[in-house]
Every structure is written in structure tokens, then in C-alpha cells.
Chains A and B, each alone.
Chain A
Amino acid sequence: MSHNAELSTRMLDEKIESMDRGDLRSYQENRLLESLAYVERHSPLFAQVWGSAGLRAADISSLTEFEARIPFVDKDTVRAYRTTYGDPLGGLRRMADASVLSSTTGTTGDPVVLPVGHGEGVGLARDWWEIGVRPGDAVAFMLFTFRGPAWLTPHALGASCVLFDHHPSEFDRWCRASLELEPTLLYLLSGPLIMAMAHMEQTGVLPYALAEVFSSYKGVVIGGDHLGIQARHDLERWGGEPFLHTAVGDVGSATECREHDGLHASEDTVFIEILDPEGSSPVPDGEVGELVATNLVPQSGNPLVRYRSEDLVRVSTAPCRCGRTGMRLWPVGRKGDEVVIHGHSILPMDIWRAVESVPESAAGYFQLIRTGREMDVLKVRVGHNATPGGRSPTSVREDLIGAIEASVGIAPEIDLVENEVLLRLGPPHKIPRVASS
């Protein structure tokens, strides 16, 4: 390798990743103006949305103008176009321009088809470089559904991939492969999978010293839900260092750096606005707002502009201790997950620790029952681990009511079910945190 000095650096794209924020805004503006023209040519949806507002891409000459004039879209906008015009791609891109058809996860409704264009994006490579992946390494994938571009990332870093399903049936093979190939990154684990691994370890089904299995890993990327206390404890007990990871408005992703102080987004590829969830005013750093995303590289990714993700986040634009200047995010929940009980706003995150504090529900599997945003009674369906000779459901329920009331000030109604009931609602890396009944 003729670039050893570069291999020792912490940033893959230091010039971009540590760019002064003023310079970054100029950089984004240049890319944005090119992007708008591309999107107008290739996306019937945006041509129509902007046309209805009396706008052309050429009318926008600055980021400030963009923020003031370009209309928002959301998943419903895409679905409505799909229904009205019979276009399965929701007008996002013409079929002839698509190279692969991806889709949203469908956790919160009918999945939306996302037509991916041609070319390569930055992907996850910067995040993985920061964690410590280097040329010649192996990266273990424990993944589902998503294909294609995923393999480009290790190859772009000079690494190879080791392929596993995101399923406990793969743990034995994963343990053997980890001991043999010594991968440096595991992409990705989730709360449900960690809990399953701990259970299989405790019951002797997985006859490996997991500390030894994890010893080659410099990091474990965590996807899906918030990482619960018990799952984090188990992972750290095995020596796995978790790196939280989230999607950024179906346009990009964000991952923790080794400082573990927020999730870094690649702002040279996505323009992020944090806005009042019920309006369009910007929300200051540190306050909860809705993430609104615009793809600055629509040629290769999903062509979304001012896309209201419904993801609630807090952000900071202060430099990170790692030296990166890009926005850091802390996911809080989903806009559609909020319930208001007698004027008191509650998100799943608000009761997570309370549920985990009861031993029988330490896995943190629960759902808010949401019949509307405003409700009279807080209803929670909680998964528990029923063991022969264990405590009675009545006793577990009483503890849960007490813990949640202590946490949010409202005594809930508890529907106690077995963990399996909630896990079956999948996808495999998370469960829907809100149910209508």
C-alpha cells in the first residue's frame, strides 16, 4: 500500500469532513442548484409539485431562496402521485432512468418504491473508516433485504465482505467465521438480535466464548431501534463497541464516530433542515425538530427534495471532538409515534427505560397503542419473558405500571403479551413501536 500516511488518518475525506461550516454551506449551495435542475428534468413528481407552486428550478439561485420557496413533500405526496397517475414509482424518477428499485422498510405503512439512479454514492465508507476498517480487512454483514450498493462499501475501502442473514440461525456460522477471518466490523446488529444472542449464550445453545468471537471487531454498527440498556450491556460485556446508526430521510445515513457523541451525517451529500414538526420554522440546535432531507447527489441515490421524514431529532452543528464539522444527530422518535395524554406529550423513547427496568420485560419490547394523537389513557402493549415458576402476570403488570408512571407521570394500562408476539411483527431488526389496536 503506497499511502500508509493516509491509512493512519481518522478521516477518509478530511477536506470534506472537517470543512468550515461557512464553506460547507457554499459547497452545498453549488451542489443543490445543480441537483434541482437534474431533479426537475428526471422527476415528474417534483416538476409537478414545483410547477403547482409556480416555480421552476431555474428560479432558485441560493440556499436561502430554496429554504423559503421550495415546497415540502412526504411519503403521502409520493403515494398520492402514485395513485393519481398510476405511476408505481410515485413520479420520483422515470422508469428508464432507474438502475435498481429499492423501497422503504414499510414499518409505518405501505412501503414506497425508491428508484435508485446510476453511479456510486459516498455510502457508509467514511463511517467505517472512522471505526477502523482498512484495506485487506473483512467486514461481516448481518443484513436483510438490502443488496447492491451494500457490497460497494467494503470494496471501495479495499476490504471484503462476509455474508450472514440477520437471524439467530446464523450465529453459529458467524462465530466460526469471526474466529477464522477476524473481521474488523460487524454491520449490523440490532436489539432483538443481541437479546437472542445473549439468550443462546446463557442456555448453552451457542457454545462459543463470545468475548473471543468479538475480539477482532473494532466496532459493531447498531441499526433499527434505539439500543436498550440490557442489549448494550450484553454487547459491551462481550467486548463489542456499539456504533449507533440511523437513516437520514431515506436519502443517506448517519453513524456515531469513536467519540460516541451524536451520529454524523455526510452533509456534502444531503442537505438537512431541522424544522418545527407542525410547521416550517427552523428549530435551534439542541431542540427537537423534524428532519427534512434533500439529496444533493440525486443522480445516484433517491431523488428527494425537502422530504419531510417524520423523524424527530436533536442536532448540533458544533464541531465534534473527532474533528468533524458535519451535523450530529440524536434520534428521538417518529412524529407519528407521539401520543398526547391530557396535554402531556409521550414518545416511545420516554418509557423505554421504565419497561427495561422490569426484569421480565428487560428486552424492551413494547408498543404504544395509539388510536389518535390525543388520547385520555396511555395504553402500552409490553412483551415479557414468561418463565415457568416466574412471577405472575399481575405482579409484572403492577411493576410496569409503577415504573412507567414514575417515568412520565401517567399510570398506563398494560397489555402484557409474550415477547414472541411482538417480535413476529418484524422487520427483524426492530418492532413497530406504535400500533393502532
Chain B
Amino acid sequence: MSNVNHWRVARPFGDDVWGYGRYGDDQLLPLSFDDMQHDTAGATAAVLSLGLPDRSVVVLTSTVSDVGYFHPLQSAAKDMGLLVCNADASTMDVDRVEMFIRLLDVAAVIGVNDALVDGIVERGHDPKSFFSSVPMVIASGRAKERMAATGVDALRFELVGPVLALSCRHRNLHFDGRQWDMVADNGTLLVSSRARRALPFSHFDTRRGGTVSNGVCPCGRRDPVVEIEPTAEVRGPS
């Protein structure tokens, strides 16, 4: 049988570049294979903290340019035996998300953003009805606020510079404390990388206001908790 192992092409690994995502104001974010491996370990803790049942179906919505943030979540979920469905976090892919929710016993929809909520409304759905059968919805700040106004009680995620912060089931917004350090400087969150990464960060100004704490969270995740003020929407095509 022919497969990639027969091609004798040296597969990249370690410090080699896995790919280039996006962060901040449309900056290129180089990610190494090591970065992705470490981020997947962090994402494993994040997924565990959600308390999803074994073999759950998870719909992961993101944009391709934000795959650097979300691919580790997908890898972690897959490694944990969860079944992941992908859709674009954009207005045009609302029908696909709806189809997954209608046909499958979906335990969580992760990655809902403003564009997706726009699409849900444009297609004549009410967000509360749209997500009524889904026990857990995780949305970015503005999307979460908009859906709350219609009665959807979503958890939250935020892209903070190069860092993905994700709520646990106890509604605390954690980030991977092994990879990242986050401090509040005059109320603004600054991000630095703690581990070796393809692109090191030092006091990167996220232009997000908030505070960081290291208290014990009842979810069991030991990563720091960040409180972020409501702000502009996560990017993505509409």
C-alpha cells in the first residue's frame, strides 16, 4: 500500500515550522511542531476542565486563519476520544452548524463568534432555539453578550494576543500557564512566552483590559485565571 511513509521525504518536527497562524493586528504567528505539541497538552487540560462525557460530539467552529489557536483543541479532543466536527465561524457556515446540531447528539459547540451569531440571525433563527439542544456553548465575549440577551447562557473564550483563553465549566477563563505569562500593567494585559517558542513574546501589549489571578479553581485546572473586560469582537469573515 502506498502511503506517506514510502515517499522518503523527511517529515518536519521539533523546531521546524508547523505553520503560520495569525495574532494581534493581522500579524503572522509562526508555530513550530513543538509549539503545537505543547499547546495540545495545554488544550487537553482545557478540554478536561469542561467535564464533557466520554465519546461526546463536539462542534468546533473557527476560521482557518485562527487554526493556530484551535487546532490544539481539536487534537486534544481527538486524543481524548471525543468526536470533533468542524465548521467555519462565519455567516456562510451556519447551515452546517445547524445540521450537526440537528443530526448529532452534540455536547458542546466551541468557538461561536459574532459572525456566526450574525449568520444565525440572518437565517431567521433565534439563538436560544438554535442552541436549545446543546448543553454547552462557548462563545467569544461579544457573541456571548448578544446570545445572553436572547437567553443563551454561554461560556466564554477569548483570543488574547497569541493566547487562547477558555472557560472551564465553573466559568473561570483559564490560559495555559506553562506556555504563557500574563500580567496586568495599569489594567492592560501584557503577554510573555514562558517556554521556548518559534516566536517568543515579551510583554506583548494585547490592548485588552483585565486582571490575572492564580487562585485555586474548583474545576481542578491549575492554570491561571484571567478576567477580561468586554471588548472588540474576535476576527473572522462575515
Contact = CB atoms under 8 A, between A and B. Distances in A.
B19 A156 contact: no
A13 interface: yes
Interface of B: 1-4, 6-12, 16-22, 26, 28, 55, 57, 60, 63-65, 67-68, 71, 74, 78, 83-88, 90, 92-93, 95-96, 99-100, 103-105, 236-237
B2 A13 contact: yes
Contact of A165 (B68, B96, B236): B236
Contacts of A173: 22, 26, 28, 65
Interface stretch (A145-153, A305-313, A391-399): A145-153
B64 A122 contact: no
Interface string A77-102: 00000100000100000011011111
Contacts of B237: 165-167, 169-170, 428
Nearest to B7: A12
Nearest to A161: B19
A122 B8 CA distance: 14
26 contacts: A3-B8, A100-B83, A101-B104, A106-B95, A111-B95, A135-B12, A138-B17, A144-B63, A144-B88, A145-B86, A145-B88, A147-B64, A151-B19, A158-B11, A160-B16, A160-B18, A160-B19, A161-B18, A162-B19, A164-B65, A165-B237, A170-B237, A173-B28, A181-B20, A181-B28, A297-B1
B93 A88 contact: no
Contacts of B103: 82, 88, 113
Contacts, number: 159
A6 B1 CA distance: 19
A141 B64 contact: yes
Interface string A119-132: 01010010000000
Contact of A426 (B92, B99, B100, B105): B92
Contacts of B64: 141-144, 147, 163-166
Contacts of A102: 85-86
Nearest to B4: A156
A413 B124 CA distance: 31
A191 B6 CA distance: 36
Contacts of A163: 19-22, 64-65, 67-68
B96 A103 contact: yes
A101 B74 contact: no
Contact of A428 (B21, B78, B92, B104): B92
Contact of B100 (A31, A113, A151, A155): A113
Contacts of B17: 138, 160
Nearest to A168: B237
Contacts of A145: 86-88, 93, 96
Contacts of A148: 74, 86
Contact of B2 (A99, A154, A162, A268): A268
Contacts of B63: 144, 165
Interface in A1-59: 1, 3, 6, 12-13, 15-16, 31
Nearest to A296: B1
A99 B77 CA distance: 10
Contacts of B87: 145
Contacts of A152: 4
Interface in A257-276: 268
Given A144-B93, A146-B86, A156 B2 contact: no
A106 B100 contact: no
A18 to B, nearest CB: 13
Which 8 pairs across A and B sit closest by C-beta, in order of nearness?
A167-B237, A161-B19, A88-B103, A426-B92, A156-B4, A147-B86, A160-B17, A101-B85
A180 interface: yes
Interface centre among A96, A154, A156, A160 (most CB of B within 10 A): A160
Given A101-B104, A145-B93, A151 B78 contact: no
Contacts of B26: 172-173
Contacts of B12: 135, 155, 158-160
Given A13-B2, A100-B78, A103-B85, A170 B65 contact: yes
Contacts of B57: 101
A155 B18 contact: yes
B7 A427 contact: no
Given A101-B100, A427-B92, A156 B86 contact: no
B104 A88 contact: yes
Contacts of A234: none
Contacts of A3: 8-9
Contacts of B55: 95-96
A157 interface: yes
Contact of B67 (A147, A166, A268): A147
Contact of B4 (A99, A125, A172, A297): A125
A415 interface: no
A110 interface: yes
A103 B67 contact: no
A177 interface: yes
A297 B236 CA distance: 35
A428 to B, nearest CB: 6
Nearest to A140: B20
Contacts of A154: 19
Contacts of A426: 92
Given A125-B7, A144-B64, A164-B64, A111 B99 contact: yes
B118 to A, nearest CB: 12
A278 to B, nearest CB: 30
A305 to B, nearest CB: 18
Contacts of A172: 26
Given A88-B104, A101-B100, A160-B16, A180 B71 contact: no
A110 B86 contact: no
Given A95-B83, A162-B20, 20 more contacts: A6-B8, A13-B7, A96-B55, A100-B83, A110-B99, A113-B99, A120-B3, A122-B3, A141-B64, A143-B64, A144-B64, A155-B18, A160-B16, A160-B17, A161-B19, A161-B20, A162-B28, A165-B88, A170-B65, A180-B28
